Structure 1
């Protein structure tokens, strides 16, 4: 089981911060700006605690993922960066060149999260006017070129959406960065099967995740899988659920209504599935044991959290692993503190069960905490 954390490049807070919904929330809790100093603190903490990598989002609502993570390689040593980017907003040759440079100069610490783009209104802000199905078709052509360039090939393609002539890389990466890809619509499956190394799903109940994984396996039997979840884990279940209640308790109904109205206009099938878990209501937010859909009331994208004691959260993670989930991409509010709750509570529990080991060869425990990079813990 591999674990990744999340870099809140649109700012952080002790309240839920909107992501991708276009509706900012959480400012009343004391927003933490997405500075290099603060993001570096999160990245170094994640690295020390035993996370393999950190996801950085993409969109008009956050800082650029490529530039931000390039800066953070200088304040970390081992942590990998799962850089989200959108095909069609740059050429496949330039994307392959950027990835090759990142891999070489960071010592092989790049992971690529390909985001086709589920919202036409946001794509148009960047000058992209294709519809959703056409965007998936373009992604397939784009990734075909990128993959070939990573293999050291010279590529000429006159496709429906992508056109390159004599494209090649001056420096082919020694290890091509793995490609992570998510999408719940029918058009997404074949693209994932042909071009992805890891297929990503948002944190739906286990039965729904099992169905999605079976769908992708029918197209690509050897696919690896990852899941995107928030976490609220504490020493006791009562403490964890109290924190979940605090997060949603201070959100006014007007804010929920505003966010939900925006999300209902989404073209994303994955977003539709997230919305169906709670229906825009505070009632019935526990949609599966320890799986809470409250985050999705005021945030776009990943809308569920695992909530409970460290042992309970470890149990749920093992259930997802039993379905075939290999990698877990997690986050929590605020991201610095919640990383420590998970890293010093859940990861040692999984280590005791023989399900996890620190990638640097030592357990993540509170007693192992030492000052790093001049920042006291």
Structure 2
């Protein structure tokens, strides 16, 4: 089943992609975005790690508390804390949310941000640490129902390069809970190897070669006796007509590039609704979708035929774009198979 997620703006939002001028921020605003995602029929939200934004764990906990249906993914670095601490914190969040918490590990990191956080682990060592982090977190979690008691000598044991655990595991009220679904990202060989062994969902950016990378990941996971679902992170501008969508993109483009013409914007258009200029107007990713609601729905369905099952969408301003997606876009997709309905072809 295809899932639709929405990235929450933890550093604020506004009419423009660059929120420096017309900001809407604070927890009251974030609450509105979260509730809009649930009311709009999204399957989940992702609370990103952002050095300039609100703390993702706090926002995720608040989102879980005020919603009933959407899944909430919290993005964090393995350096956030020990895997045992992260697991225990998550067990409590699973208890209060009926098991709706997901994890998004951000293994790749900016060198300046890592230094600011006091994290000395670099290069491929980041992936070895992440593998140990997930091994330990699952270990203390999965052993929690069979341990007779603290320091009984039969708990989870682990000795590694980054973590050592003796007689670990949870008991009592922390037992019997679902482990968070683990989302991972990246397209390097190290990232794909980590996901093949430890991930549940892997999100790619839409780049040349992404189909091959996804196929490589699926094959590697199968070699470990596992299945990893794949997805795409996509900014979206969808309107009633194609011209309206492009007019919106052109306005956003001119906010950043005054005097630019429509030809500058259209030059970055690809096949169908694909457009590769989102990073030039303030989005974190380059490639996304621009077009009418039916064109965008058709593009999402095409990605689905390539094996992508999870779509993380985003758009500015967030509340308005969430409601547009819920009211005009998602109903074009079959809730069971997430393919275009016969009515949409009429």
Bucket of the pairwise TM-score, normalised by the shorter protein: 0.7 to 0.9
The CA distance in 2 between the partners of 1:66 and 1:348, in whole Å, is: 31
Q: Which residue of 1 aligns with 2:60?
A: 69
Once the two structures are superposed, the pairs formed by residues 224-373 of structure 1 within 5 Å of their partners are 224-252=229-257, 284-299=267-282, 301-351=284-334, 355=338
Q: Which residue of 2 aligns with 1:371?
A: none
The CA distance in 2 between the partners of 1:249 and 1:300, in whole Å, is: 14
Query: What 5-or-longer segments of structure 2 have no aligned partner?
Result: 145-154, 259-263, 341-346
Contact 2:272 2:295 in 1 (8 A): no
For the residue of structure 2 that corresponds to 1:14, the secondary structure is coil
For the residue of structure 1 that corresponds to 2:203, the secondary structure is strand
The CA distance in 2 between the partners of 1:27 and 1:340, in whole Å, is: 23
The two structures have a TM-score, normalised by structure 2, of: 0.86
Q: Which residue of 1 aligns with 2:38?
A: 47
Q: Highest CA radius of gyration, 1 or 2?
A: 2
Deviation at 1:305, TM superposition (A): 2.2
Once the two structures are superposed, the pairs formed by residues 72-83 of structure 1 within 5 Å of their partners are 72-83=63-74
Once the two structures are superposed, the pairs formed by residues 120-131 of structure 1 within 5 Å of their partners are 120-131=111-122
Contact 2:242 2:292 in 1 (8 A): yes
Deviation at 1:119, TM superposition (A): 1.4
Deviation at 1:46, TM superposition (A): 1.2
The CA distance in 1 between the partners of 2:274 and 2:327, in whole Å, is: 21
Q: Which residue of 1 aligns with 2:149?
A: none
Deviation at 1:329, TM superposition (A): 0.9
Contact 1:229 1:304 in 2 (8 A): yes
Query: What 5-or-longer segments of structure 1 have no aligned partner?
Result: 17-24, 254-280, 358-377
Q: Which residue of 1 aligns with 2:129?
A: 138
Q: Which residue of 1 aligns with 2:187?
A: 184
Contact 1:149 1:172 in 2 (8 A): no
Counterpart pick for 1:200 among 193, 199, 203: 203
Q: Deviations along 1:152-188, whole A, 9 cap, x unmatched?
A: 2533322112223322223135221110111211111
The CA distance in 2 between the partners of 1:241 and 1:283, in whole Å, is: 8
Deviation at 1:282, TM superposition (A): 6.4
The two structures have a TM-score, normalised by structure 1, of: 0.79
Contact 2:250 2:265 in 1 (8 A): no
For the residue of structure 1 that corresponds to 2:291, the secondary structure is strand
Alpha-carbon spacing, 1:14–1:160, altered in 2? closer, same or farther (3 Å): same
- Runs of 4+ residues over 3 Å off in structure 1: 281-284, 298-301, 351-354
Q: Deviations along 1:240-261, whole A, 9 cap, x unmatched?
A: 01111111111048xxxxxxxx
Q: Which residue of 2 aligns with 1:211?
A: 212
Q: Which residue of 2 aligns with 1:111?
A: 102
Deviation at 1:108, TM superposition (A): 1.2
Q: How many residues align?
A: 318
The CA distance in 1 between the partners of 2:127 and 2:168, in whole Å, is: 22
* Structure ranking higher on relative contact order (CA contacts 8 Å, 6+ apart): 1
